[in-house]
Amino acid sequence: MSAPHKSGGVARIDARLAACQAEGRAALITFVTAGDPDFDTSLAVVEALPGAGADLIELGMPFTDPMADGPAIQAAGLRALAGGQTMVRTLELVARFRTRDTATPIILMGYYNPIYIYGVERFLGDARAAGVDGLIVVDLPPEEDAELCLPALEAGLAFIRLATPTTDDARLPAVLANTAGFVYYVSITGITGSATPDFGKVTAAVQRIKGHTRLPVAVGFGVRTAAHAATVAACADGVVVGTALVERVKAALDAEGCGSAATAEGVAALVRELAAGVRGAAKSDAA
C-alpha cells in the first residue's frame, strides 16, 4: 500500500471545510457518477465542477445493484457501466483530474462489493495514489469497521459515515466512532431523489448530531434547487446535491445518449445556481 500523502486524504477535506467555515458559509458538495455516460464526458463534467462553485466532489462508483439510490442515479450507473466504466477507470479519472486540480477534495461514494472484488489493500493503495481523499460506503455499518473503515483511516483516507432520521442518540456514538472528514446526514428516509426534506426537521437533526461530535455535518438527499441549498446551508456545514446534477447530465445527452461539450456546461450551470444559493445563505446561530 502506498504511503499517505500529507497534502491529501483527510487533510485535504479538513482544509477545504475549514476554509469554507472561515468564509462563514457552508460547503457545496456535488455528486456525479464516474463514467456517465462515458469516460471523456465524465472527466469534463468533473473538471468543470470546481470552477462552477463546487467545494468538494463526491464521485459515484458505478455498481449493478445500488440499493440506496433512486432511479436517476441507478440509470447513471448503468450508462457508465455500458460505456465501459470500471474501478480502474474510476481511479484513472481521479488521477487525470488531479493533474489539473490538487486542492478540491474527491470522495468516492458507493457500495462495498466493487471494492471487495478489486481487493481492499490494492484499492486503498491505488485510491490514495490517484488522489482520492475519502470514502462513503453506504452498506458497511460500524460493526464492519475492520473490513474497510479502519484500513482506510490507516491509509490516510477519510471514512465518512451516514446518519439518518432513524439514527437515534443511542446509535450515534457507534456511527461517529471512526468517522473522519464530516458526518453525512441523510435528510429523508428512503432512496436518493425520492422526496423533498422537511427542513425544520433537518435543522433539528443537525443540532442534535452536533451535540455528539465536533465534526462538520453535511446534509444530502432531496436537495435539488438553489433555494433548497440555501435553506440547508443556513443550518449545516455542507450541502450535498446529487440527483439533480445526474439528471442534468442526462438532459444534456444527444439523441443517441452520448455526451458533448454541452454536457459539462449544462451541469456547471446548475452548480453555479446552487453555489449562489449556498453562498447567499445566512448561517444560523444553531449551526
How much is the pLDDT for 4?
Answer: 38
pLDDT of residue 282: 59
Where does residue 212 rank: exposed (0-12), middle (13-18), buried (19+ CB within 10 A)?
middle
Asked if 161 contacts 197 with a C-beta cutoff of 8 angstroms, the reply is: no
Q: Which three cell numbers stand for residue 124?
A: 486503498
The number of beta carbons lying within 10 Å of the beta carbon of residue 257 is: 12
**Tens of pLDDT, residues 26-67:** 999 999 999 999 999 999 999 999 999 999 999 999 998 877
- CA dist 246 to 27, 123, 161, Å? 19, 25, 22
Average pLDDT of the chain? 91
Domains of the chain: 10-279 (3.20.20.70)
**CA nearest to 55, candidates 250, 280, 237:** 237
Q: What is the pLDDT of residue 190?
A: 54
The angle formed by the CA atoms of residues 164, 8 and 55, to the nearest 5 degrees, is 55
Three-state DSSP at 5 gives coil
Query: Which pTM was predicted?
Result: 0.93
What's the pLDDT score for residue 285?
Answer: 43
Which phi and psi angles does 204 have, rounded to 5°?
Answer: -65, -40
In this predicted model, what pLDDT tens digit does every residue of 172-213 receive, in sequence order?
Answer: 999 999 999 999 999 876 555 556 768 888 999 999 999 999
Active-site residues, by number, are 58, 69
pLDDT (mean) for 265-282: 93
Collapse the DSSP code of 212 into the 3-class scheme (helix H, G, I; strand E, B; otherwise coil) and give the result. Answer: coil
